[in-house]
């Protein structure tokens, strides 16, 4: 089976130490994480981890099962790029002199949908969002004009077919906390991983 890029989406309760335990699952298997993002979801008590790796589907399935064994994890899904909508944010620092002297640079930035976020005497910072090929493309374009620095955020992704699970998240939010800890209480243990 061939390796490819997968995005793993993990829905969790917001607990201290969970990120470390999830990271250990990857490091024990010697799997490199390409991108990692954590953020709140539309449900106050639930957070989302978005993790990008290059692996085989069998390995990714096993990883998701292992991640779901963590008590605070509600569900873990894996998806290919065509099953999600995703973006990354990129910042580019360029010499202000290069921008003001060369009208061509300003035109190039407009072509890539970049906007100015900071202007200083010695440098200007631009921002753009897009997929990796787009943000990398602007790096190559700006290098000849004195690109000083470049940074890209982790992937932010939404699963195209995740409506069923989000309904269950809303149910989870309405439930009163109980004395007993019940792992993945509102999820069907035999539920298939979301695919389109």
DSSP state of 146: T
pLDDT at position 192 is 44
Least confident of 36-45, 100-109, 126-135, 148-157: 100-109
CA distance 180 to 107: 61
Domains of the chain: 4-79+161-174 (3.30.70.260), 85-152 (3.30.70.1150)
Query: Contact 106/152 with Cβ under 8 angstroms?
Result: no
Instruction: Check: CB of residue 131 under 8 Å from CB of residue 86.
Output: yes
* Closest to 157 (Cα-Cα) out of 35, 70, 68, 67: 35
What SS3 state is found at 17?
A: coil
| Mean pLDDT value of segment 9-35 | 93
Cα dist from 132 to 5, 32, 35, 36, 90, whole Å: 12, 18, 11, 14, 9
Torsion of CA 89, 95, 97, 98, to 10 degrees: -70
- Say what the pLDDT of residue 179 is: 46
pLDDT at 99: 76
Q: Report the mean per-residue pLDDT for the chain.
A: 83
d(CA 135, CA 128): 7
């Amino acid at each position: 089976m061939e390796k490819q890029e997968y995005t793993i989406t993990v829905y969790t309760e917001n607990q201290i130490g969970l990120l470390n335990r999830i990271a250990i699952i990857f490091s024990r298997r010697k799997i490199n994480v390409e991108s990692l993002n954590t953020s709140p979801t539309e449900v106050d008590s639930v957070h989302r981890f978005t993790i990008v790796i290059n692996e085989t589907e069998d390995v990714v399935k096993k990883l998701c099962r292992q991640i779901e064994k963590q008590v605070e994890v509600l569900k873990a899904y894996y998806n290919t790029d065509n099953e999600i909508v995703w973006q990354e944010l990129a910042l580019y620092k360029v010499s202000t002199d290069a921008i003001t002297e060369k009208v061509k640079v300003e035109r190039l930035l407009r072509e890539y949908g970049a906007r100015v976020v900071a202007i200083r005497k010695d440098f200007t910072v631009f921002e753009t969002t897009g997929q990796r090929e787009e943000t990398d493309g602007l790096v190559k374009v700006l290098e000849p004009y004195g690109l000083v620095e470049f940074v890209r955020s982790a992937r932010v992704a939404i699963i195209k077919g995740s409506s069923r699970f989000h309904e269950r998240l809303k149910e989870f939010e309405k439930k009163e906390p109980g004395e007993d800890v019940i792992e993945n209480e509102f999820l069907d243990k035999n539920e298939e991983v979301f695919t389109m």
